[in-house]
Amino acid sequence: MSNNLLKGKRGIVFGALDERSIAWKVALKAKGQGASLTLTNAPIALRMGAIERLAGQCGAEVIPADATSVGDLENLFSKSVEILGGKLDFVLHSIGMSPNVRKNKEYAGLNYDWMLKTMDISAISFHKVMAVAEKQDAMNEWGSILALTYIAAQRTFPDYSDMAQAKAMLESIARSYGERFARLKKVRVNTISQSPTMTTAGSGVPGFDVFMDYAGKMSPLGNASADACADYCVSMFSDLTKMVTMQNLMHDGGFSSSGITAGVIEQMKK
């Protein structure tokens, strides 16, 4: 159902890799709510080709950009403004990758070059995105910029490894840049802390299915789906949430406020 919540709004969606990606669902829902958008991903991810299908469904152009490259981001923002015919109202940063997680490195034996790569891709890229948007004056007043994060920024989840540090930095960047962008341009910046979700990035974490099951039982409403996360992103891009900024917003079915739940107690009794 469309309420045209994003009618006339323009934006960039980073990170749609395949149908399971949270960004994929955000792009479809934003389009369904009346937005026009461009899609982007790292050149290597674009080679898989799935994004072209999404582009067709959204009537969107795909502009390659490695989010760690300021040059690529400059090209992305200037082309997006040109193609969409004006400044932007929303940006979704839906990017995460750790070579240490991917290669199953023990936490004590992290490869530090890879750790720097984790930080650059998963956190510093968010700063680069906003710095380019600011430099090009590419955002409209009251625009909304979002990044997706995970509660491992605040609590330990051992298999999440150096991504925990990356998410802590990402959330901190959202606060620091949120203060700046509010002051300069009345643009809001937030992170959404999403439940574990079965996507390519999610399922790269060892033991993810067991973990999802546990998180679901520890969340009174159950795990939030990618679809529900996309709905929340759309509401955060809309004019209904204009005064929300510099927040880490929990979208987790109640996980973050639960000490123990009836679901876990039931399981322990078995």
Ligand X SMILES: NC(=O)c1ccc[n+]([C@@H]2O[C@H](COP(=O)([O-])OP(=O)(O)OC[C@H]3O[C@@H](n4cnc5c(N)ncnc54)[C@H](O)[C@@H]3O)[C@@H](O)[C@H]2O)c1
Look at the chain and count its residues.
270
Q: How far is the CB of 72 from ligand X (least distance, A)?
A: 8
Of the candidates 13, 30, 37, 42, which one interacts with ligand X according to CB under 6 A?
42
* Interface with ligand X in residues 197-216 (CB under 6 A): 197, 199-202
Selected range binding ligand X among 13-21, 99-107, 177-185, 231-239, rule: CB under 6 A: 13-21
Under a CB-based contact definition with an 8 Å cutoff, are residues 159 and 186 in contact? no
Under a CB-based contact definition with an 8 Å cutoff, are residues 150 and 170 in contact? no
CA torsion 85→41→172→97, rounded to 10°?
180
* Interface with ligand X in residues 52-81 (CB under 6 A): 66-68
CA-nearest of 170, 209, 187 to 136 is: 187
Nearest to ligand X of 197, 248 (CB atom)? 197
Query: Which strand (E) or helix (H) includes residue 191?
Result: strand 188-194
For residues 177 and 66, give the distance between their C-alpha atoms in angstroms, rounded to a whole number. Answer: 21
Q: How far is the CB of 110 from ligand X (least distance, A)?
A: 18
Selected range binding ligand X among 27-35, 54-62, 192-200, 237-245, rule: CB under 6 A: 192-200
Q: How far is the CB of 93 from ligand X (least distance, A)?
A: 7
Of the candidates 17, 27, 76, 139, which one interacts with ligand X according to CB under 6 A?
17
The three-state secondary structure class of 97 is coil
Using CB under 6 A as the binding criterion, the count of chain residues that bind ligand X stands at: 26
In the numeric block, the tokens 């439940």 are attached to 195
Nearest to ligand X of 7, 193 (CB atom)? 193
Q: How far is the CB of 187 from ligand X (least distance, A)?
A: 20
Selected range binding ligand X among 26-34, 91-99, 108-116, 258-266, rule: CB under 6 A: 91-99
For residues 264 and 139, give the distance between their C-alpha atoms in angstroms, rounded to a whole number. Answer: 45
User: Around Cβ 168, how many Cβ atoms within 10 Å?
Assistant: 15
Interface with ligand X, residue 174, by CB under 6 A: no
For residues 204 and 118, give the distance between their C-alpha atoms in angstroms, rounded to a whole number. Answer: 14
Structure tokens, 194: 């999403």
Interface with ligand X, residue 143, by CB under 6 A: no
Interface with ligand X, residue 96, by CB under 6 A: yes
CA-nearest of 159, 162, 166 to 206 is: 159
Nearest to ligand X of 2, 116 (CB atom)? 116
Nearest to ligand X of 42, 88 (CB atom)? 42
Q: How far is the CB of 125 from ligand X (least distance, A)?
A: 6
For residues 252 and 11, give the distance between their C-alpha atoms in angstroms, rounded to a whole number. Answer: 25
Q: How far is the CB of 51 from ligand X (least distance, A)?
A: 8
User: Around Cβ 35, how many Cβ atoms within 10 Å?
Assistant: 27
Residues that bind ligand X (CB under 6 A): 15, 17, 21-23, 41-42, 45, 66-68, 94-97, 121, 148-150, 194, 196-197, 199-202
